[in-house]
Structure 1
Amino acid sequence: MTLNGRITDPDGNAVTATWWQYTDAGTYPGTVSLTQRDGAARVRIPRDAQPGQTIHLILQGTDAGTPALTSYQRVVLTVRS
């Protein structure tokens, strides 16, 4: 599955986007494979994930301003059969 994040900064500063799995939340106990490029994340749901389990992913955006500001958005994936 591919997730596309779009991040803008109101001041026009460059923004770095980073996706990561929030392992403190969700009911899937393992780690997902996550590759990133240009704000998009390709997520591979593990074969051992059970229907109904949730996987929480975070899109983190940090601008190049001084001080650097960071914002977060969460995506919750629910495993289907």
Structure 2
Amino acid sequence: MYSEQTQSYHTSNHATIWRWREAYQHDFAARIDWSNSPKYEDANHPPVAKLNHENEILVHSGETVTLSGQASTDPDGDVLTYKWFVYNEVGTMNVGRRGVIELQNADTHSVSFEAPATDKVETIHVILQVTDTGSPSLTRYQRVIVNVIPE
């Protein structure tokens, strides 16, 4: 189980990119490899993060929400790792800081959580992060916008 309460929050105007730093540094290193490798198979290529459903869904408060990235693939055949997290800065519900949401199995291709109670339509943005095991490891993302409506 993964709880948003355990995630660090960065609030300065420079800190919002910290969560993406390793991914973009590895992406830059891979681009250097691509320019120095005469053959396609000599370099690592990014995975394809793919959802098994629409990227915007509508749910009711109290409903169990299941999101899946099982359709994700890697062009090099590398093993994939998964991480799901709430992207609090853009959602209207701001669930992570209130500790309202717990992502179940956030390190697998599918995640679930209970939609929090609300008195008006609110949004939760959930990010699927897919990373391959190549060298350097490469990461790609998909966002799911969960629109939560009152019961």
Q: Provide TM-score, normalisation by structure 1.
A: 0.89
Would you identify which runs of 4 or more consecutive aligned residues in structure 1 move more than 2 Å? Answer: none
Q: Which residue of 1 aligns with 2:136?
A: 67
Determine which of 26, 35, 46 is the counterpart of 2:91.
26
Q: Which residue of 1 aligns with 2:112?
A: 42
The answer for unaligned runs of 5 or more in structure 2 is 1-64
Q: Which residue of 2 aligns with 1:51?
A: 120
Q: Is the 8 A contact 1:33 1:45 kept in 2?
A: no
The answer for unaligned runs of 5 or more in structure 1 is none
Shift of 1:51: 2.7
Q: What's the RMSD between the two structures over aligned residues?
A: 1.3
Whose strand fraction is larger, Structure 1's or Structure 2's? 1
Based on CA coordinates, which of the two structures has the bigger radius of gyration?
2
SS at match of 1:79: strand
Number of aligned residues? 80
Separation in 1, partners of 2:73, 2:87? 22
1:17 aligns with 2:82: yes
> How many percent identity over aligned positions?
40
1:44-78 CA distance string (max 9 Å, x none):
1122x333110000000000000100000000011
Q: Is the 8 A contact 2:95 2:124 kept in 1?
A: no
Q: Provide TM-score, normalisation by structure 2.
A: 0.50
